[in-house]
């Protein structure tokens, strides 16, 4: 028998899980072939992961070799365990917190099971948040979670699980959120910067797209960069903070303490503030803005705000050497003329447009997919694997469905 060092084994496990994330469903032979592993090596990893409840076997009526297209007899195929939740995802936002229990299979779209509002001007927001989270835990039930992934905005030092700075939710800077969550679910907790989760989720759903800048528009404006299929490493836990690029002539005060940041113009609140001003306070809701754009096209105030966002995006592309932008969030809910304007303005400011075209596309938020990817890497096959291998005692029944 060949001795396989544990680090090597862990890399092989991760590689196999990544391959299965890409393929969705695959046979042992297909996995071995795709990874360039011998069938016994791949088979051994598969058996371990089946025992641990990370993978499950499903019966398929007819097998089709993905390489040759040759149809075969009915057989057993593998997929990431979709039968029961293994991870808990929490998304802390400015207005609300979303909670979902997640299986290890990659979901098609974000689906949150429990939502509670963040009460404004709360005296002790950390304590109220913990109370609401406790109520959510009661509803979700005592699942045997492997860990909790907590998506948070702001500057996040992920290795130390701390929020260094949060322009729109300052109370999270002083609160030890991981500790709070652990008081409710006594399992490992990982803080994940929210745009990083979105970018990883997008990559997982579109594995062919390996290099892009994702910009999410919502309560704030943030970005994340994926290069070669991985988040771009940076020496400081400050990256993708595109929303805090100053816009000349803009006098609005930003949550970060600066004046004139781009997000004060194109965040949800920023857009609605400008909309209310433009309509002399007559209109100020998101639905009204959507209708207004459909009826009147892009008015000058909106075009200027989008241009400001485009300048920051084009600047980032020029510096990073990227030609693909993925836009998620609120801007994608507005009439298509909005994204078309933004895209044209990005082209205008990017050097790559002189040689080819910059792709600027709208995409749905795939936050839970990104959190699962991080959970698999850091909780399912962490560095201490296989000490943490026993995730479950019983092996799931082949073909078992979601409960
Ligand atoms: Zn700012």
- 110 alpha carbon – ligand 1 mean position (Å): 28
Percent of the chain with pLDDT over 70: 90
- Does residue 310 belong to any structural domain of this protein? yes
What does the pLDDT look like over 344-369, one tens digit per residue?
Answer: 999 999 999 999 999 999 999 999 99
- 90 alpha carbon – ligand 1 mean position (Å): 25
- 167 alpha carbon – ligand 1 mean position (Å): 7
Give the pLDDT confidence score for residue 70 in this predicted structure.
Answer: 67
- Does residue 395 belong to any structural domain of this protein? no
Residues 217 and 180 in one domain: no
What does the pLDDT look like over 199-232, one tens digit per residue?
Answer: 999 999 998 899 999 999 999 999 999 999 999 9
Give the pLDDT confidence score for residue 115 in this predicted structure.
Answer: 94
Q: pLDDT category, 66, cuts 50, 70, 90?
A: low
Task: Determine how many CB atoms are found less than 10 A away from the CB of residue 261.
Answer: 29
Residues 161 and 235 in one domain: no
For residue 331, pLDDT beyond 50: yes
Residues 67 and 212 in one domain: no
Residues 256 and 132 in one domain: no
Residues 107 and 76 in one domain: no
Strands 96-102 and 114-117, by their bridges, are: antiparallel
- Does residue 202 belong to any structural domain of this protein? no
- 122 alpha carbon – ligand 1 mean position (Å): 23
- 316 alpha carbon – ligand 1 mean position (Å): 17
Residues 251 and 273 in one domain: yes
Neighbours of ion ligand 1 (CB under 5 A): 244, 254, 256, 258, 261
- 26 alpha carbon – ligand 1 mean position (Å): 46
Give the pLDDT confidence score for residue 229 in this predicted structure.
Answer: 92
Q: What is the CATH number of the domain that holds 28?
A: 1.10.10.10
The mean pLDDT of 311-339, rounded to a whole number, is 97
- 191 alpha carbon – ligand 1 mean position (Å): 22
Show the tokens assigned to 89: 């995802």
Residues 110 and 54 in one domain: no
Backbone conformation region of residue 186, classed left if phi is above 0, alpha if psi is from -120 to 50, else beta: beta
What does the pLDDT look like over 234-293, one tens digit per residue?
Answer: 888 888 999 999 999 999 999 999 999 999 999 999 999 999 999 999 999 999 999 999
Range with lowest mean pLDDT among 82-86, 99-103, 193-197, 397-401: 397-401
- Does residue 22 belong to any structural domain of this protein? yes
Q: Total domain count for the chain?
A: 3
Q: By C-alpha distance, which of 270, 271, 272, 244 is closest to 259?
A: 244
For residue 392, pLDDT beyond 90: no
- 138 alpha carbon – ligand 1 mean position (Å): 37
What does the alpha-carbon distance between residue 81 and residue 85 come to, in Å, rounded to a whole number? 9
Domain termination site, one of 29, 53, 80: 80
Residues 281 and 303 in one domain: yes
Strands 87-92 and 96-102, by their bridges, are: antiparallel
Domain termination site, one of 63, 80, 97: 80
The mean pLDDT of 140-167, rounded to a whole number, is 90
Residues in the chain: 403
Give the pLDDT confidence score for residue 383 in this predicted structure.
Answer: 66
- 364 alpha carbon – ligand 1 mean position (Å): 25
Range with lowest mean pLDDT among 72-81, 165-174, 185-194, 317-326: 72-81
- 207 alpha carbon – ligand 1 mean position (Å): 32
- Does residue 392 belong to any structural domain of this protein? no
Q: What is the CATH number of the domain that holds 341?
A: 3.30.420.40
Q: Tell me the β-bridge partners of 6.
A: none
Evaluate if pTM is beyond 0.85. yes
What is the residue-averaged pLDDT of the chain? 89
Question: What residues make up the domain containing 36?
Answer: 6-80
- 243 alpha carbon – ligand 1 mean position (Å): 7
For residue 385, pLDDT beyond 70: no
- 166 alpha carbon – ligand 1 mean position (Å): 10
The mean pLDDT of 372-384, rounded to a whole number, is 84
- 244 alpha carbon – ligand 1 mean position (Å): 4
- 154 alpha carbon – ligand 1 mean position (Å): 11
- Does residue 212 belong to any structural domain of this protein? yes
Percent of the chain with pLDDT over 90: 72
- Residue 235, C-beta contacts closer than 8 angstroms, at least 6 positions apart: none
- Does residue 326 belong to any structural domain of this protein? yes
Residues 316 and 373 in one domain: no
What does the pLDDT look like over 113-123, one tens digit per residue?
Answer: 999 998 777 88
What does the alpha-carbon distance between residue 337 and residue 322 come to, in Å, rounded to a whole number? 24
pLDDT higher for 14 or 265? 265
Check if the beta carbon of residue 53 is closer than 8 Å to that of residue 400. no
- Distance spanning both ends of the chain, measured CA to CA: 40
Residues 56 and 11 in one domain: yes
């Amino acid at each position: 028998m060949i001795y396989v060092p544990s680090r090597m084994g862990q890399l092989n496990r991760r590689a196999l899980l990544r391959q299965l994330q890409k393929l969705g469903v695959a046979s042992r032979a297909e996995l071995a072939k795709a990874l360039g592993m011998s069938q016994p090596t791949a088979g051994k990893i598969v058996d371990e992961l089946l025992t641990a409840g990370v993978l499950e076997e499903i019966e398929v009526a007819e097998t089709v070799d993905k390489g040759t297209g040759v149809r075969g007899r009915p057989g057993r195929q593998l997929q990431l365990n979709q039968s029961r939740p293994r991870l808990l995802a929490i998304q802390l936002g400015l207005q609300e917190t979303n909670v979902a229990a997640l299986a290890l299979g990659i979901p098609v779209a974000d689906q949150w099971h429990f939502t509670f509002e963040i009460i404004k001007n709360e005296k002790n927001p950390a304590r109220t948040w913990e109370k609401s989270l406790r109520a959510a835990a009661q509803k979700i039930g005592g699942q045997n979670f492997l860990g909790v992934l907590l998506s948070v905005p702001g500057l996040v030092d992920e290795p130390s699980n701390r929020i260094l700075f949060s322009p729109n939710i300052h109370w999270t800077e002083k609160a030890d959120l991981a500790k709070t969550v652990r008081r409710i679910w006594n399992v490992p907790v990982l803080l994940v910067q929210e745009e990083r989760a979105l970018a990883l989720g997008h990559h997982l759903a579109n594995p062919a797209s390996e290099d892009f800048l994702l910009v999410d528009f919502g309560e704030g404006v943030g970005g994340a960069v994926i290069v070669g299929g991985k988040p771009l490493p940076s020496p400081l836990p400050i990256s993708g903070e595109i929303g805090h690029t100053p816009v000349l002539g803009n006098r609005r005060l930003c949550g970060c303490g600066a004046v004139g940041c781009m997000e004060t113009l194109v965040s949800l609140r920023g857009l609605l503030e400008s909309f209310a001003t433009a309509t002399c306070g007559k209109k100020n809701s998101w639905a009204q803005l959507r209708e207004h754009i459909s009826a009147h096209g892009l008015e000058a105030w909106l075009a200027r705000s989008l241009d400001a966002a485009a300048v920051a995006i084009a600047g980032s592309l020029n510096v990073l050497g990227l030609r693909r932008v993925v836009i998620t969030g609120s801007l994608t809910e507005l009439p298509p003329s909005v994204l078309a304007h933004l895209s044209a303005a990005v082209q205008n400011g990017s050097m790559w447009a002189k040689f080819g075209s910059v792709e600027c596309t709208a995409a749905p938020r795939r936050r839970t997919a990104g959190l699962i990817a991080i959970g698999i890497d850091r909780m399912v096959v962490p560095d201490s694997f296989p000490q943490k291998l026993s995730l479950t005692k019983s092996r799931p029944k082949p073909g078992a469905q979601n409960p």
